[in-house]
A and B are shown apart, each in its own frame.
Chain A
Amino acid sequence: MSTVAAELDLALGDPLRPSGPLTFAQAVADDQDEQVPELSLRALRDWGYQRYQVPESVGGRLSSLEELMSLGRVVARRDPAVAVIANSALAAAMPVWLAGDAEQRKAVADSVLGGRRVALGLTEPDHGADLLASEVTGSLESEGYRLNGTKWLINNVRPAQYLCLLLREPEREGLRSLSLLLVDLDTLDPATYELLPRIHTHGVRGADIAGITFRNALVPASARIGRPGRGLEITAQSLLVTRTLIPGLSLGALDTGLRCTADFVRRRHLYGKAVEEIPYVQDELAAVFLDAMVAEAVSRSCVRILHFLPELSPVSSAVAKYLVPHMAEKAMGRLARVLGARYFLREGHWSGIFEKLLRDVRLFGLFDGSEPVVLSALAAQVSCLAERDVDPRRADDVFRPGHATVGNAIAPGVFDAVADDDPVTTDLLAVCDALDERSRRGDALRDAAGALREAGADLFEGAQRSVDPRSQAGQRLGERYARVFAAVCWAKSWLADSARVPPEWAAAGLLALLRPHVRMPQPVSAALFGELTRQFSHQPSFPSPRVAAKETPAW
């Protein structure tokens, strides 16, 4: 974890306090009341969180997306709803950071640094993922764009000053028919638009989600972000970044879910013993712990790809967005079963935070590209595996230990909507050989390397046939790609820094990705549970200056 994230964690204090901003009690109370979590948001503002929502180049502090992800994770550990709201400025304004002109960037930066929110208007009532079907129109007239139509399910649209709006230019057609505008709602004639009522949700109940209807609203032509007709491309590029960052929020929720459960099983006594002594309970917690470690490594690799290998982010963003929320949701389901009735209660143990986390994490798989959508995006990318003469060293920085600190990850011209090749996955055989070198004959690592070779062969073979990305075969191909890509990331991360993770765990991690339904060998499970217990005893709740400051697997 980055130093800044550790600082934030410390500044926010113990989330188990009976009350106060960013405590579990506060999170549960805000959720219950469907209240915007103002108290917690204010605490973040006081700390200066919004500075990390604005790139350094325009006066903010954001230089490392890896650091930003850690920050989001720290907040999501306490309240994912707060994390969604607090991180929406960067995500919603992404079209501006990536394609806006200097004036637009400055204006949005000032607004965000001043504590205002930003909204991103893509979705409409009748059109979800099919953005090309958008019905909100903006006709270019002499005074500017004349807007009509309804955007719906828009986070923060009511409090926001700026709205990045995707619309159709009626004169244009096909892939270049959409443009993005930066709408200043403070100056828009209130008679020409209407903010729709708040929409209540399953999780993140504190978020202010609503819609907006335009009726002949007029915005100046200078509000356009980028060139005319480039709305779809800019949106696709923006999603590369947000899809890569969302996993941080899943990881944060899972961190707390795991701790909350670990705490329960040592306190609860059944059949004359602590519940944590039941072998099933140990095995389940060990499996979740391993999944959390793997998901963390995959997230970290993918976020570093944004910095060091941005041309691969069309692939890595889809892998991260599919796999990490998916694994986190499954892991939370397992933990719920271990918690038993306590997971169903909105009070009691840890203020009932688990129940809320369970609902909140479900959002992360859903928005900004649902599972089928990102899998079909991946399936559409498999052709980049055919490019075999690729220099794997291009990915070296991604897996180098230590924190990524580089400027200007988010800047115009960095991202492209498709990848030409994949220097990570095409290095699979060399990675397997390296794993073999570290293993002894017949041991777990060698078996896992074998499984990776097999999965790789299967993927490369599948990539040669043409499939419709939206077909079921396409979905499965996308999933295979995601798992193999993630497995290579995990292996490369381990090969680059194997000090903290024994080879048996590395092997089990590979298999957790490639064969998610197969349980790890009992001795590995026991060792992992031991490590979990050790870490938990050191740091039952966060933060702790000693542990939080250095990187720890999963927690």
Chain B
Amino acid sequence: MVASARPAAAAVSASLERALGDPLDKDNIAGFRHSVEADRAERFPRELCDAVFEWGLAEYLLPEQEGGEFRAIEDCFELARVLSRRDLTAAVAIGATVLASLPVWLRGSARQRRAAAARIREHGFLAFALSEREHGADITAGEVTARETPDGWLVDGTKWLINNAGHAHGATVAARTGDGIRALTLFSLSRPSADDGRWTPLPKIRTHGLRGSAFGGITFTGLPAADADIIGRPGQGLAILMETLQITRVLVGGFALGALDTCLHAVLAFARERTLYGRPILALDAVAVRLADAYADLLIGEALGLGACRAVQAAPDQLPLTSACAKYLVPQLAAESMDSLAVVLGARSYLAEEHWHGIFEKMRRDCAVTGLFDGSAPVNLNIIAEQLPGLASARDGADRDAELLEIFTPEPPPAAWLTEIEFELATDADGILRGVSAARRVVGAEGGTECDEALGELLRWCEAETARLDAEVAEERGRPGWPRSGAAYDLAARYSLLHAAGACAWKWLAWRGHPSAGEFLTGGTWLRLCLVRITERLGRPRDDLDASHHAALRHLEQVHDEHQFFADITRR
């Protein structure tokens, strides 16, 4: 909805939002009361999933080739976000289906695509079976094997920590078929209709959040597979996984932003109705600052997510870096914002069924998972850290600025479908971060207003910080163990913030001339809000509440009164 270029896509997520009805209606199955109740009973939100499929979700998960409407990663992101505002258990379960189907859309055969499409159209769930009990991030150490026999393949072993394991009709399974980097092969497998012990779901695993999930494991015992079940070719598993994860790491941000959106609404409502010391607590600075900051975090996450979504199809060379930055930072911003909003909500953040049916408490537990799966924070920081030395020596390259501006445009041209993308392992030059300099030049040329001056100062600060960071990387990189040290990951985390500043800057440049953008965005207040927050995290002292915070709070209240997505702001 935010920045969706194809008006059709915005209309689609708006239509889903409407179909889901009033979240505060206690009888609405897409409402918070139902969501909390199912979670407390550790029950899967089946009715909600059914309703979403009945609305027509399946078509948006299937590519054009299969007669569906899935054309852009961004559309998926937006739908994930709409659903995540209601219930993350449902959203993540459907997300796991998307994750399992992506390798098929990317490298699968026509037959595999048809089969996956048919399952999804039947409202079935798929599992993405990669993790094992003894092997987490170390993917190539997996012990589930597929043995070749004269009659085809036999799959043996246990996958564990697998979402949808309890109710999946099919799974994308990573199995060992050899050694080294060609050790893994991906299979697209169906659960046998007879319960004959070849595909055994393990007991549900109890979790912190997403308590209603069908989360568990699957043991394969001599499960037969044909050559035709192999996605791509034998030994290509790791390569296809790397491609798939670059995409899903972008999508995960949609879950986190949807959850944060709801938490922000819930806490704002509380801050307006709760009276202490004779006034609503929103009048307390300590409360106002937290709300404005959480809002800024939401906007930052959204800009970073938008750029990353677009990069998948329009600038895949940026993807190795930006997908890791988005995967690390968006869940992190959401988690930190929720911690801070919890302080405002006080005791009610701790209660399971009070204020808005206790949705805050559930969202906070659920959202924590976004920092874990598809590459946890340390893994993504590792990926970023490894690219830092190369990036530091490639800060030029203004020749691509026009292309990058185009990526952030409100109305992007149709982009290449996933099968045409050439994925890369590392990003050579960070075009997204260059948005900072591009914006600084524009602000410098225009100049004048108080906001422009503040922006210029913030953008120059980010440039200087980038230079400092690059210098530090150059100095440290040779130290033994550095790429996996705490110090390296600190730099990677800082880098992801600068990268996000670049995304915000590009978005501002691309949107400020657009007729649909309101004064909040065009005037630079939006960018200032985001940059104040980012640079504060990087250690720059800030004012308590400046003009951008007051503007942000006014917007928050307005959007809230109109029952909208906070993200819709940019459309005014």
Whether chain B is bound by chain A comes out as yes
Judge whether A130 and B277 touch: CB under 8 Å.
yes
Judge whether A370 and B135 touch: CB under 8 Å.
no
Judge whether A470 and B286 touch: CB under 8 Å.
yes
One of A194-202, A236-244, A298-306, A445-453 contacting the partner: A194-202
Q: Known: A345-B208, A472-B545. Is A270-B351 also a contact (CB below 8 A)?
A: no
Q: Known: A372-B286, A372-B343. Is A199-B485 also a contact (CB below 8 A)?
A: no
Q: How far is the CA of A348 from the CA of B376 in the complex (A)?
A: 19
Q: Report which of B274, B284, B358, B376 forms a contact with A337, defined as CB distance below 8 A.
A: B376
B465-489 with Cβ < 8 A to chain A? 479, 481-482, 484-489
Kindly state whether residue B141 has any CB partner on chain A within 8 Å. Answer: yes
Q: Report which of A128, A199, A270, A355 forms a contact with B208, defined as CB distance below 8 A.
A: A355
Contact partners of A476 in chain B: CB under 8 A: 544
Contact partners of B489 in chain A: CB under 8 A: 280
Judge whether A370 and B277 touch: CB under 8 Å.
no
Kindly state whether residue A21 has any CB partner on chain B within 8 Å. Answer: no
Contact partners of B365 in chain A: CB under 8 A: 202, 359
Kindly state whether residue A394 has any CB partner on chain B within 8 Å. Answer: no
Q: Known: A340-B376, A344-B372. Is A270-B207 also a contact (CB below 8 A)?
A: no
Interface centre among B207, B289, B382, B545 (most CB of A within 10 A): B207
Task: Write out, one digit per residue, whether chain A residues 246-289 have a CB within 8 A of any chain B CB (1) or not (0).
Answer: 00000000000000000000000111100000111011100100
A362-421 with Cβ < 8 A to chain B? 362-363, 365-367, 370-372, 375-376
Q: Known: A200-B352, A279-B484. Is A126-B208 also a contact (CB below 8 A)?
A: no
Kindly state whether residue B421 has any CB partner on chain A within 8 Å. Answer: no
A289 to chain B, nearest CB (A): 13
Kindly state whether residue A133 has any CB partner on chain B within 8 Å. Answer: yes
Kindly state whether residue B150 has any CB partner on chain A within 8 Å. Answer: no
B164 to chain A, nearest CB (A): 16
B264 to chain A, nearest CB (A): 18
Kindly state whether residue A471 has any CB partner on chain B within 8 Å. Answer: yes
Judge whether A344 and B368 touch: CB under 8 Å.
yes
B114-140 with Cβ < 8 A to chain A? 131, 134-138
Judge whether A475 and B347 touch: CB under 8 Å.
no
Q: How far is the CA of A280 from the CA of B342 in the complex (A)?
A: 29
Kindly state whether residue B156 has any CB partner on chain A within 8 Å. Answer: no
Q: How far is the CA of A366 from the CA of B161 in the complex (A)?
A: 33
Q: How far is the CA of A388 from the CA of B283 in the complex (A)?
A: 35
Kindly state whether residue A145 has any CB partner on chain B within 8 Å. Answer: no
Q: Known: A202-B349, A279-B481, A337-B378. Is A472-B286 also a contact (CB below 8 A)?
A: yes
Judge whether B486 and A366 touch: CB under 8 Å.
no
B120 to chain A, nearest CB (A): 26
Kindly state whether residue B296 has any CB partner on chain A within 8 Å. Answer: no
Judge whether B347 and A366 touch: CB under 8 Å.
yes
One of A1-9, A227-235, A517-525 contacting the partner: A517-525
Interface centre among A202, A282, A347 (most CB of B within 10 A): A202
Judge whether B351 and A346 touch: CB under 8 Å.
no
* Number of residues of chain B lying within 8 A (CB) of chain A: 61
Judge whether A472 and B276 touch: CB under 8 Å.
no
Judge whether A280 and B378 touch: CB under 8 Å.
yes
Kindly state whether residue B275 has any CB partner on chain A within 8 Å. Answer: yes
Q: Using CB atoms, name the residue of chain B closest to A520.
A: B486
Contact partners of A126 in chain B: CB under 8 A: 274-275
Kindly state whether residue B311 has any CB partner on chain A within 8 Å. Answer: no
Contact partners of B349 in chain A: CB under 8 A: 202, 366
Judge whether A278 and B354 touch: CB under 8 Å.
no
Q: How far is the CA of A519 from the CA of B178 in the complex (A)?
A: 42
Judge whether A283 and B487 touch: CB under 8 Å.
yes
Q: How far is the CA of A200 from the CA of B347 in the complex (A)?
A: 12
Contact partners of B40 in chain A: CB under 8 A: 200
Judge whether A201 and B350 touch: CB under 8 Å.
yes
Interface centre among A199, A200, A272, A352 (most CB of B within 10 A): A200
Q: Report which of B276, B482, B487, B545 forms a contact with A129, defined as CB distance below 8 A.
A: B276
Contact partners of A279 in chain B: CB under 8 A: 481-482, 484-486
A489 to chain B, nearest CB (A): 25
Q: Using CB atoms, name the residue of chain B closest to A348.
A: B205
Q: How far is the CA of A346 from the CA of B211 in the complex (A)?
A: 10
Q: How far is the CA of A123 from the CA of B286 in the complex (A)?
A: 21
B346-402 with Cβ < 8 A to chain A? 346-347, 349-354, 358, 361, 364-365, 368-369, 371-373, 376-378, 381-382
Q: Known: A280-B489, A472-B289. Is A345-B205 also a contact (CB below 8 A)?
A: yes
Judge whether B285 and A471 touch: CB under 8 Å.
yes
Judge whether B347 and A519 touch: CB under 8 Å.
no
B207 to chain A, nearest CB (A): 5
B429 to chain A, nearest CB (A): 26
Q: Report which of A340, A347, A365, A474 forms a contact with B372, defined as CB distance below 8 A.
A: A340
Q: How far is the CA of A199 from the CA of B365 in the complex (A)?
A: 18
Q: Report which of A127, A282, A362 forms a contact with B276, defined as CB distance below 8 A.
A: A127
Q: Report which of A278, A367, A472, A525 forms a contact with B347, defined as CB distance below 8 A.
A: A367
Kindly state whether residue A100 has any CB partner on chain B within 8 Å. Answer: no
Judge whether A522 and B378 touch: CB under 8 Å.
no
Judge whether A340 and B368 touch: CB under 8 Å.
no
Q: How far is the CA of A372 from the CA of B346 in the complex (A)?
A: 10
Judge whether A345 and B347 touch: CB under 8 Å.
no
B167 to chain A, nearest CB (A): 19
Q: Using CB atoms, name the residue of chain A closest to B362.
A: A202
Contact partners of B136 in chain A: CB under 8 A: 270, 340-341
Task: Write out, one digit per residue, whether chain B residues 89-113 have a CB within 8 A of any chain A CB (1) or not (0).
Answer: 0000000000000000000000000
Kindly state whether residue B316 has any CB partner on chain A within 8 Å. Answer: no
Q: Using CB atoms, name the residue of chain A closest to B376.
A: A340
Q: Report which of B277, B351, B481 forms a contact with A200, defined as CB distance below 8 A.
A: B351
Kindly state whether residue A457 has any CB partner on chain B within 8 Å. Answer: no
Report 6 cross-chain contacts, Cβ distance below 8 Å, ordered by A residue: A270-B138, A272-B141, A343-B208, A347-B205, A372-B287, A470-B285
Given contacts A341-B131, A366-B349, 15 further A-B contacts (CB under 8 A): A130-B277, A201-B350, A202-B349, A280-B485, A341-B161, A344-B209, A345-B205, A345-B206, A358-B208, A359-B365, A362-B350, A376-B286, A519-B490, A522-B485, A522-B487
Task: List the interface of chain A (C-beta within 8 A of B).
Answer: 32, 123, 126-130, 133, 153, 199-203, 269-272, 278-280, 282-284, 287, 329, 337-338, 340-341, 343-348, 352, 355, 358-359, 362-363, 365-367, 370-372, 375-376, 470-476, 517, 519, 522, 525
Q: Please provide the 3 A-B residue pairs with the shortest distance between their CB atoms, ordered closest to farther.
A: A283-B486, A472-B544, A346-B206
